[in-house]
Amino acid sequence: MSILKKLSLVMLLMALATTGAWSENTSDKHFALSKNLDIFNSLFRDLDAFYVDTINYQKTITSGINDMLAGLDPYTVYIPEDQTDFLKQMTTGEYAGVGAEIGQQNGRVFINDPFEGKPAQKAGLKAGDVLLDLDGISLKGKTTEQVSNLLKGQPQTMVTLKIQRPGVEKPLTIKVMREKITINPVVYYGVLKNNVGYIMLSEFTENASDEMQQAILNLKEHHVKALIIDLRNNGGGIIDEAVKMVGFFVPKGTEVVSTRGKVKAWDKTYRTQSEPILPDMPMAILVDDNTASAAEILSGSLQDLDRAVIVGTRTFGKGLVQSIRPLPYNGHLKVTIAKYYIPSGRCIQAINYAEHNADGSPVRVPDSLTHVFKTADGRLVRDGGGIRPDVFVKDSAQLNITYYLYNQNIIFDFATQYALKHKSISEPEQFSITDSDYDAFKQYVKAQNFHYTLQSETLLKKLMATAKIEGYGDLAATDFKSLQTLLTPNIDKDLNLFKKDIKNMINAEIVKRYYYQKGVVRYSLQHDKTLDKAMDVIDNNAEYNKLLGK
């Protein structure tokens, strides 16, 4: 037999073996699926027949589904029929209600932030108003989720609220007409110093690209010389919206992202479909560790295409794509179907949910196992672990007394009291409480029985206990005592030590009472190190071009 015939025979035998193995594997897979469904069905029937107490079918099955999906990844979730409104709000940014963010403290639900121009604000509801009852239904003991559901309803229906307003002795009754609420993903845009345009984008819901386009066109009319897009704390959303936005800045037909998954028919390459609006204008994108998904597609593709400088901290690293699948009885499954790859070919997924550490947590891809890719102009970039910024700016946020003052609503309540005494304040860019106001705040804090425990103090106590078990307690007693003295919270000391951070938080909360979310952004931009660095980079042609490898 010739070598060619032998080779052909070997290849044929290999093909037959592979086909047989594939058939066997498919058969095994179907058997395993059928077997386990039969087990589950029989188990639940026996539970229903023999368990001593009555079983809540929906609660038990839903709990089982949720536990099953939790073992896959955080993004694959079951959405039952009663959460359809949440699904719509998540994808479109729309819902029908009064347009206000609510919070809870000491068993009371209160208005945290009435959205500017929405029914709650137009009806006169203010931040700090405590909700007592709704259409005659007492809200005492109800959660924010329960109250939120009651506030929602059909557009053009009236809801009657009884509220307790701080500083007002008797409860007030306010009627609010529900409306279709659309949350604009462009939180704020404007012209900063040196004629630089700025856009803050919060999410990628339906029509987000239309809102972004309007902002860009408006800034273009003001003849801005550069553009900064702020994607910090942007958790992403719809891929198509990110692709459309990339198209505002690069040539038509440019590849932005591709998706690859188990079902090859769903693999897709996304390209820009329109001519760019700003093909050459210098750009910077602000990112942080909460920048994820579609926000990473926008920032990562513009980095890969050498179209913008990325400034901030490493992004979250979500390179997974979800699809909404309909289920019987009006339920839905949001399921991870693919991974996405940006123009350089890299996937920036940071966590491998298929593998787990000894403690059960999913494995994070270490930097040592990431791979090098090249941008359009040859710059080196890496996959895994999110988008690494071209200019790293360390996040200055600290878990100090400011966090606890904010988390316990001390700052919120002080701002409420301040707003009761001041009918107006100066523009956000110029506003700041005085030193006298801050002294009043310190007295207010002491009157609220405020207390907090530092994380470092908690860890020190654990270390002391461990050292005692291991026989080192007495040897390190003096050092432990010194550390304990340093780490035990001292409210007076910390109120002075972190005065700058606390004042900024108070100022922002007060500004929100008069100028709403846009005002908070305007105030915060005056104290933003990441923005300042982006402005410096854009203002320096040589540095900007060097960062982009020009």
Catalytic residues: 293, 304, 318
Instruction: Name the token pair of 13.
Output: 């035998």
8-state DSSP, 368: G
| 276, 305 contact by CB (below 8 A) | no
Phi, psi of 435 (to 5 degrees): -60, -35
The amino acid occupying position 321 is V
In sequence order, what are the beta bridge partners of 161? Answer: 134, 174
| Burial class of residue 69 in the structure, from the number of CB atoms within 10 Å of its CB (0-12 exposed, 13-18 middle, 19+ buried) | middle
| 435, 506 contact by CB (below 8 A) | no
DSSP letter string over 241-296? HHHHHHTTTS-TT-EEEEEEESSGGG-EEEE--S--SSSSS-EEEEE-TT--THHH
Interatomic CA distance for residues 381 and 387, integer angstroms? 9
Q: Nearest-CA neighbor of 90 among 18, 217, 183?
A: 183
User: Which strands, in side-by-side order, build the sheet including 196-201?
Assistant: 186-192, 196-201, 226-230, 283-287, 309-312, 391-392
Helices then strands (H, E): number in the chain? 17, 23
Q: Nearest-CA neighbor of 300 among 281, 316, 280, 322?
A: 316
Q: How many CB atoms lie within 10 A of CB 318?
A: 25
Instruction: Name the token pair of 57.
Output: 């079918």
| 111, 120 contact by CB (below 8 A) | yes
The amino acid occupying position 26 is T
| 298, 308 contact by CB (below 8 A) | no
| Burial class of residue 65 in the structure, from the number of CB atoms within 10 Å of its CB (0-12 exposed, 13-18 middle, 19+ buried) | middle
Find the helix or strand (DSSP H, E) in which 285 lies.
strand 283-287
| 123, 175 contact by CB (below 8 A) | yes
Coil, helix or strand for 73? coil
Cα–Cα distances (Å) from 267 to 246, 513, 526, in that order, read: 20, 48, 44
Torsion angle, alpha carbons of 11, 13, 19, 24, to 10? -140
| Region of residue 450 (left: phi > 0; alpha: psi -120 to 50; beta: else) | beta
| Burial class of residue 176 in the structure, from the number of CB atoms within 10 Å of its CB (0-12 exposed, 13-18 middle, 19+ buried) | buried
In sequence order, what are the beta bridge partners of 310? Answer: 285
Interatomic CA distance for residues 497 and 411, integer angstroms? 17
Interatomic CA distance for residues 103 and 123, integer angstroms? 19
| 313, 290 contact by CB (below 8 A) | no
Rounded to the nearest angstrom, the gap between the alpha carbon of residue 142 and the centroid of all alpha carbons in its chain is: 26
